[in-house]
Amino acid sequence: MIVVLKNNVSPEEENAVVEEIKKLGYRPHVMHGVARTVIGAIGDEHSHRDLEVLNAWTQVESVTPIQKRHKLVSREAHPQSSTVNAGGVIVGGKKIQVMAGPCSVESEEQLMKTAHAVKAAGASMLRGGAFKPRTSPYEFQGLGEEGLKLLAKAREETGLPIVTELLSQDQAELVAEYSDMLQIGTRNAQNFQLIIAAAKTGKPVLLKRGMSMRIMEWLLAGEYVLANRNPNLLFCERGIRTFEDYTRNTLDLSAVAVVKAESHCPIVVDPSQGCGKASLVRSMCKGAVAVGADALLVEVHPNPTEAISDAAQQIDLEGFAALIDELAPIAESVGREI
């Protein structure tokens, strides 16, 4: 921490700050400048009390941390990029993984047809919602445990690991029993007790960005996963809420570059939620691959117009197969493969 004193502070006032820094468990290093005095407080911020209390002192101008608040997810803590193993699929390596499937599990026929088709086209994981957080209480809320059982059956038939959303702490063990990766959705991106519950299952956690969440808030939410001894964290950019209403959300591809610079954890892009229009999904996938995404989360449905939820943003099976073909040269151009 760096403590900057105000102009013309007396030796007695300076000494009082130095003594307080020592009392709080840090080793002070005093540097006298022409106009101001700067004190470097050396010590582990995890182990000692927060020096920001000194902001209340009249002789103190500012207190600035020199370590990032998101210590565990930052590249300061782990300079090399991490990988996450989800049911045998490695996310964060050279291969860009594609997680594909319907927004909601609607029936066995719908799910199995989708699962086999996306596997044949090149998907490496199956996504699908068993529990659905909906804006209206009158909209389809998912099949619940029956949906989880269908996802497990699809995994058995296709070999595709499962990623599905977790909505409450009470469901954590149940959802973890059936899935290979737990998704924390945008509405729960700062539900810290839910994130902790997900982390404690030991399963990889896919943390979506909140719809109005700053990147630093998102990184700090992810810190809860690693702080609870689960190293298997993935961030997911899924669009944020802006003044623009042509698309459902504004897919922030710049966030991919920022997170790659700030954090060692893999980052996934969900272009389906990100733009809310099936016609734009393929273009957004290409952009995500070009900017450095480690994986894509794509909503696919056999008959999108008949989908019970989010019909407008789901691409059909033929469109998904075409997408994989189109992504291959882009991935190759950035030293990756699809």
The percentage of residues in the chain with a pLDDT greater than 90, rounded to a whole number, is 76
E-strand stretches of 109-229: 125-127, 162-165, 181-184, 205-208
Among the residue ranges 12-26, 145-159, 318-332, the one predicted with the least confidence is 12-26
Mean pLDDT, rounded, for 266-281? 96
- Report the chain's mean pLDDT, rounded to a whole number: 92
Is the pLDDT confidence value at 162 over 80? Answer: yes
Other CB atoms within 10 A of residue 218 CB: 27
Cβ–Cβ < 8 Å for 270, 100: no
Q: Is 105 helix (H, G, I), strand (E, B) or coil?
A: coil
Predicted local distance difference test score (pLDDT) of residue 135: 75
CA 194 to chain centre: 14
Domains of the chain (ranges, CATH numbers): 2-64 (3.30.70.1140), 84-333 (3.20.20.70)
Predicted local distance difference test score (pLDDT) of residue 172: 96
The tokens for 45 are 């911020």
Among the residue ranges 152-161, 301-310, 318-327, the one predicted with the least confidence is 301-310
Cβ–Cβ < 8 Å for 203, 234: no
Return the DSSP state at 29: E
Angstrom distance (rounded) from CA 326 to CA 293: 16
The percentage of residues in the chain with a pLDDT greater than 70, rounded to a whole number, is 97
E-strand stretches of the chain: 2-5, 27-32, 37-42, 60-64, 84-86, 89-91, 97-101, 125-127, 162-165, 181-184, 205-208, 233-237, 267-269, 295-299
Angstrom distance (rounded) from CA 259 to CA 239: 14
Other CB atoms within 10 A of residue 240 CB: 20
User: Which H helix or E strand runs over 136?
Assistant: none
CA angle 296, 109, 186 (to 5 degrees): 35
CA angle 239, 332, 122 (to 5 degrees): 70
**Which amino acid, residue 63?**
V
Among the residue ranges 41-45, 82-86, 129-133, the one predicted with the least confidence is 41-45
Predicted local distance difference test score (pLDDT) of residue 139: 77
Among the residue ranges 3-7, 234-238, 249-253, the one predicted with the least confidence is 3-7
